[in-house]
Amino acid sequence: MKFEGEHLLPGQIGHFFVILSFVAALIATVSFFKASLTTDLAQKQNWLKTARTAFYTQVAGVFVIFGCILYICSNHLFEYMYAYKHASLELEYKYLLSCIWEGQEGSFLLWTIWHGVLGILLIKKSKEWEAPVMTVISFAQFFLLMMILGIYFGNIKIGNSPFSLTRNEITAPIFARANYLSFIKDGLGLNVLLRNYWMVIHPPILFLGFASTLIPFAYAYAGIQTKRYGDWVKEALPYTLMCAAILGVGIMMGGKWAYESLNFGGYWAWDPVENASLVPWLLLIAGLHTMVIYKATGHSLRASYLFAFLTFIFILYSTFLTRTGVLGDTSVHAFTEAGENISFRLFGILFSFKAMNALILLYLFAFAIPSLFLLIKNYKKIPTIYKEENTNSREFWMYIGSLVFFLTSVFIIAKTSVPVYNKIFGTKIAPPEDIEFSYNKVIVLVAIILGFLTAITQYLKYKTTTAKYLVKEIWLPTVIAAAIMSLLVIFYPFTYYKQGAGFLGALYVAAFAVIYSFVSNAFYIWTVQKGKIMKAGSPVAHAGFMLMLVGILISSGNKKVISSSSVNGITLPSSGKDPMTKETDNPKENLTLLREVPASLDDYKVTFLKDSAGHEKGRKFYKLNFERKDKESGKTLEQFGLQPDVYQMKDNSMSSNPDTKSYLFRDIFTYVSYALNKNAESEDTAQFKEVKLSMGDTAFYSNGFLVLENVVNNPINAKYKREPGQVALMAELQITAKDDQRFNATPLVVVDSLGIINRDDTVFAQNLFVRFIGVDENKKIRLGLKESNTLIDYVTVKAYVFPLINLVWIGLVIMAAGLVLSMLQRGKFTKLQSGIILFLSVAFVFYMFLLANA
Amino acid sequence: MKKTHIILLFGIAALIVGLISFSADFSTYDSIGSAKEKQGKFVHIIAKLDKRQPVEYDAIKNPNYLTFYAVDSLGGQTKVVFHNSKPSDLEKSERLVMKGKMGADHFECSDILLKCPSKYKDDKKQLQDNVQEATSMK
């Protein structure tokens, strides 16, 4: 049958290039590998030439594939499954890229693109290391392209093609018709949670981070392959630093996205998906330090190998965790299982898994097993120094720091993998009651150790340090840190009582440790490095990291919920008293705001003014007015509006986006926790009841009375703008409710050549509609009163104050700057290049984290 | 033995202590029936919303009070009280993962994770339903 209206060409082009790139990646892998084995120079050059051509072909192919997907999605070609699943007509253009990496195939492709770009960089820069390093990169490309291959081998489908057709993927009677496409009016579109500008930028940066972790891995492999066991470290170090900066920023972008668009009230929730990206970063930092130690002293080479391998292995393990559905019920934003089941029997045991999951596992094992095998096999050959490090040397304590990072990553991944144990052993272990605390209580100890380690180790010298030197340099930072800490304790004590005194104490110790380290590293730049900032990468990065931890401790230690249902009269039987604060410990954090009725939140009077539709279908903004008044004079000190919004979808599901008022020292964070879906409501059936009033007369309604105070001829106000040829009358009414609340209403009647227009006014708080009907023969004013019998308008919100959250973002920017500085110092860059790279990267991160949403 | 080895051993010991302390916090996935046998203990229940029974939530009266009934695949049934706002797609959900403690007459829920069909774009059956629905309306 010939189907009408299909555009099959872009898919065919795309599919052709998928196969071409896949084959090219295979050829590149084999050729680079051959080149790395041969010692004959002419032969080596030949293999390299083939390999490079194949690699370039593969990269070009990947860009064409990406172009085809972009074309299909932007032209809404719903005959393609990918467009049908991820694009939709109403989707704004800026989210086009997000909808491409929403799907498995698109995000694998993004990863492939970055490997390609980094591969070209390495071909140009890695010189004699090219063959072994590029063997690894090409091998990774081979696996990634396999994921989007979508070809059948026998009964087994290898990978999911982004170019498969909707009619082949879904069975429905509609596809029996030649004109089926005219019935598919729209695609499913991008998940509403992902409609946020962070989702345009966060995935590319994160995947660039993922992709660049392959470089230290590749160099470590090259070290073993070439038997130049130690030389790779110097080469790999600048890339490792770059990777640490990019991956770190990418992870925190995910946190900032969560903070701005998920309503769990924070930027980090120890969600398995977050953990899965944090663990490789921790391992990378461990490896970074052991590599620096090796370069300076010759110690820790074996550990450097291990960490370089583990970093990428855990990137693959995270991919396995987040993309195979194994996390199941424990994560909010993991991918789900895709593809058909493969079942086979081995030794009488039935193995059954999804085709896609099998590929991801294969990718993981193809990198984990050979690399660890090579490491174990060559372990004895890797040079090491048998003389022990001195305890007063820098390398000793740096090594301890690396171990702390390593053990922390093991702790986090061991906990995150619980669903994997459940799957393998059939156990039913569920997460603990308070997941965040189960991590925080350990991580706070890690912060304490790291704080003290980085504060003091910076002042130690390699090999050996005299106590006199250390004391001379470090006494001043110590005193200053202690002073800052006392100020914090006195003027801004932590209010995190809910986990008891022990944890509160640990928070204080951690706060001191990280402040100490921040001050000590900042001092180091001036006292030891004499302010030469371009050489101060390490203390800048450490100071930034510590400042970030200060921000994390303070903003979560003093985070406060300011919305409480008790403020507007609804109190519940309390569920218990907190032993420390003597306050009820379940503050019932949702507050319902009736339209136009102010309620107090902390120091603010908050009023829900109105809701309005956004540009996108189903998006609605709730306009909240915040007002802070001086307690004595009653003068308004400050006033601002916040507009949290929700997406209400056709199927009645809802997603809520917070809105934040950012101050330098704190954020006020609010989101809609419950809103009415107006479409679902019944029609208003109440009728207007007419009353006739003279000036000063009173009329009653069920909940109070109203007085006609004045009638204004042709009024000038915000509600009404007079046009030529119109005559308008406005009634000024004062309404007093039974509970003595007072409201004003100003209904209008406008007369022009076309007739009479009533502009009704609504007192939402009283559910009362008033209409100016006209004037009767006795000059009495005819007013219509209607008391609505539908629900009154309201919205339920939750609000938090995050103090000093900007420290988290500023700390991150400084840390990234420090890592970039170190990279520039250790790489081969001219002054001009260094300046440009430093400026651009810092400006970008600063803009994204501190200005983009202000 | 090197000092770093000693410290490494200490670190590993600390890690094991950390993980064991964590295992003490572990809870379990339970059915409604087995949760009723351990009243007052924190559990995870995987169940479904009972659509024959009313869902009560009135944000004006109390935005922090939601009650509904849940049933599980083993036929257990319980009333659930959730002191928080109503998750917006509760009625649409296919499956609920509820955390909390079973009381004498109801399940006191502290958190609900919803599994909604609309979020499963990769689920083939759901996609088929979507296509059916979208094309049959015309």
DSSP string across A281-301: HHHHHHHHHHHHHHHHHS--H
Query: What is the C-alpha separation between A292 and A542, in angstroms, rounded?
Result: 14
Closest alpha carbon within chain A to B121: A85
Confidence class for position A582, pLDDT limits 50, 70, 90: very low
Confidence class for position A786, pLDDT limits 50, 70, 90: confident
- Mark out the alpha helices in B26-101 (DSSP H runs): 32-37
Q: Which residues in A lie closer than 8 A to residue B110 (C-beta atoms)? A: 433
Confidence class for position B115, pLDDT limits 50, 70, 90: low
Interchain contact, B27 vs A430, CB within 8 Å = yes
Pairing status of strand A666-675 against strand A794-803: antiparallel
Closest alpha carbon within chain B to A443: B18
Confidence class for position A184, pLDDT limits 50, 70, 90: confident
pLDDT tens-digit readout, A616-662: 667 788 889 988 888 788 788 888 899 888 877 655 556 777 888 88
The per-residue pLDDT for B126 is: 66
pLDDT tens-digit readout, A507-527: 999 999 999 999 999 999 998
Q: Please say whether the dihedral angle defined by the alpha carbons of residues A319, A322, A323 and A324, taken in this order, is positive or negative.
A: positive
Section B47-52 average pLDDT: 87
Section A577-587 average pLDDT: 40
Section A158-183 average pLDDT: 86
* pLDDT for residue A331 is more than 90: no
pLDDT tens-digit readout, A694-737: 888 888 887 788 888 888 888 777 667 777 778 888 888 888 88
A789 vs A808: which has the higher pLDDT: A808
The per-residue pLDDT for A330 is: 59
**Residue A148: alpha-carbon gap to chain centroid:** 25
* pLDDT for residue A671 is more than 90: no
Interchain contact, B27 vs A431, CB within 8 Å = yes
The per-residue pLDDT for A333 is: 47
Closest alpha carbon within chain A to B19: A411
The per-residue pLDDT for A566 is: 59
Query: What is the C-alpha separation between A443 and A810, in angstroms, rounded?
Result: 21
Mutation to test the B interface, candidates A164, A563, A590, most B Cβ within 10 Å? A590
Taking residue A152's Cβ as centre, other Cβ atoms within 10 Å add up to: 9
The per-residue pLDDT for B95 is: 80
Nearest to B85 among A338, A674, A791 (CB): A674
* CB hemisphere CA count around A493 (13 angstroms): 6
* pLDDT for residue A267 is more than 60: yes
Most confident of A51-60, A620-629, A774-783: A51-60
* pLDDT for residue A266 is more than 70: yes
Confidence class for position A680, pLDDT limits 50, 70, 90: very low
Q: What is the pTM of this model?
A: 0.85
Query: What is the C-alpha separation between A818 and A831, in angstroms, rounded?
Result: 16
Closest alpha carbon within chain A to B115: A329
The per-residue pLDDT for A146 is: 94
Question: Tokens 């030439």 identify what position?
Answer: A49
Confidence class for position A375, pLDDT limits 50, 70, 90: very high
Most confident of A31-45, A573-587, B109-123: A31-45
Section A49-67 average pLDDT: 97
What single-letter DSSP state applies at residue A178? T
Taking residue A450's Cβ as centre, other Cβ atoms within 10 Å add up to: 22
- Six token digits for residue A109: 């492709």
Interchain contact, A570 vs B63, CB within 8 Å = yes
The per-residue pLDDT for A576 is: 38
Q: Which residues in B lie closer than 8 A to residue A572 (C-beta atoms)? A: 62, 64-65, 83
Nearest to A367 by CA among A525, A530, A135: A135
B45 vs B134: which has the higher pLDDT: B45
A566 vs A540: which has the higher pLDDT: A540
Interchain contact, A432 vs B61, CB within 8 Å = no
The per-residue pLDDT for A367 is: 96
The per-residue pLDDT for B116 is: 59
Nearest to A750 by CA among A780, A779, A720: A720
- Six token digits for residue A21: 């790139």
User: How far is the alpha carbon of B74 from chain A, nearest alpha carbon, in Å?
Assistant: 16
Interchain contact, B123 vs A592, CB within 8 Å = no
Q: SS3 letters for A224-274?
A: HHHCCCCCHHHHHHHHHHHHHHHHHHHHHHHHHHHHHHCCCCCCCCCCHHH
User: How far is the alpha carbon of A82 from chain B, nearest alpha carbon, in Å?
Assistant: 11
What DSSP string runs through A525-538? HHHTSTT-GGG-HH
- Six token digits for residue B92: 């649409």
Q: Please name the residues in contact with A394: beta carbons below 8 A apart, sequence gap of 6 or more.
A: A296, A457, A460, A461, A462, A465
Are A748 and A729 spatial neighbours (Cβ–Cβ below 8 Å)? yes
Section A683-692 average pLDDT: 74
Q: CA of A46: how far to CAs of A40, A51, A53, A130, A131, in Å?
A: 10, 9, 11, 14, 12
Interchain contact, A430 vs B29, CB within 8 Å = yes
Closest alpha carbon within chain B to A330: B113
User: How far is the alpha carbon of A14 from chain B, nearest alpha carbon, in Å?
Assistant: 21
What DSSP string runs through A488-532? HHHHS-----TTHHHHHHHHHHHHHHHHHHHHHHHHHHHHTSTT-
Interchain contact, B62 vs A572, CB within 8 Å = yes
In this prediction the ipTM stands at 0.79
Confidence class for position B1, pLDDT limits 50, 70, 90: low
Mutation to test the B interface, candidates A307, A443, A592, A646, most B Cβ within 10 Å? A592
Q: Please name the residues in contact with A721: beta carbons below 8 A apart, sequence gap of 6 or more.
A: none
Interchain contact, A414 vs B19, CB within 8 Å = yes
The per-residue pLDDT for A682 is: 46
User: How far is the alpha carbon of B63 from chain A, nearest alpha carbon, in Å?
Assistant: 6
What DSSP string runs through A423-486? HHH---EE--SSHHHHHHHHHHHHHHHHHHHHHHHTTPPSS---HHHHHHHHHHHHHHHHHHHH
Section A577-599 average pLDDT: 60
User: How far is the alpha carbon of B42 from chain A, nearest alpha carbon, in Å?
Assistant: 7
Query: What is the C-alpha separation between A203 and A218, in angstroms, rounded?
Result: 23
User: How far is the alpha carbon of B49 from chain A, nearest alpha carbon, in Å?
Assistant: 15
Confidence class for position A796, pLDDT limits 50, 70, 90: confident
Q: How many beta-carbon contacts under 8 Å exist across A and B?
A: 166
Q: Which residues in B lie closer than 8 A to residue A324 (C-beta atoms)? A: none
User: How far is the alpha carbon of A452 from chain B, nearest alpha carbon, in Å?
Assistant: 16
Question: Tokens 């393990």 identify what position?
Answer: A317
Section A790-814 average pLDDT: 85
Mean pLDDT, rounded, of chain A: 85
The per-residue pLDDT for A269 is: 85
Interchain contact, A654 vs B115, CB within 8 Å = no
Interchain contact, A653 vs B118, CB within 8 Å = yes
- Six token digits for residue A201: 């930028």
* CB hemisphere CA count around A142 (13 angstroms): 20
Mutation to test the A interface, candidates B16, B26, B45, most A Cβ within 10 Å? B26
Interchain contact, B120 vs A336, CB within 8 Å = yes
The per-residue pLDDT for A78 is: 92
Interchain contact, B4 vs A172, CB within 8 Å = no
What single-letter DSSP state applies at residue A618? T
Interchain contact, B110 vs A433, CB within 8 Å = yes
pLDDT tens-digit readout, A343-356: 555 554 545 556 77
Q: What percent of chain A has pLDDT over 70?
A: 90
Q: Please name the residues in contact with B9: beta carbons below 8 A apart, sequence gap of 6 or more.
A: none
The per-residue pLDDT for A426 is: 78
* pLDDT for residue A300 is more than 60: yes
A565 vs A78: which has the higher pLDDT: A78
* pLDDT for residue A678 is more than 70: no
The mean-pLDDT minimum among A364-373, A387-396, A433-442, B83-92 falls in B83-92
The per-residue pLDDT for A584 is: 41
Question: Tokens 């001195």 identify what position?
Answer: A390
User: Residue A127 region, left (φ>0) first, then alpha (ψ -120 to 50), else beta?
Assistant: left
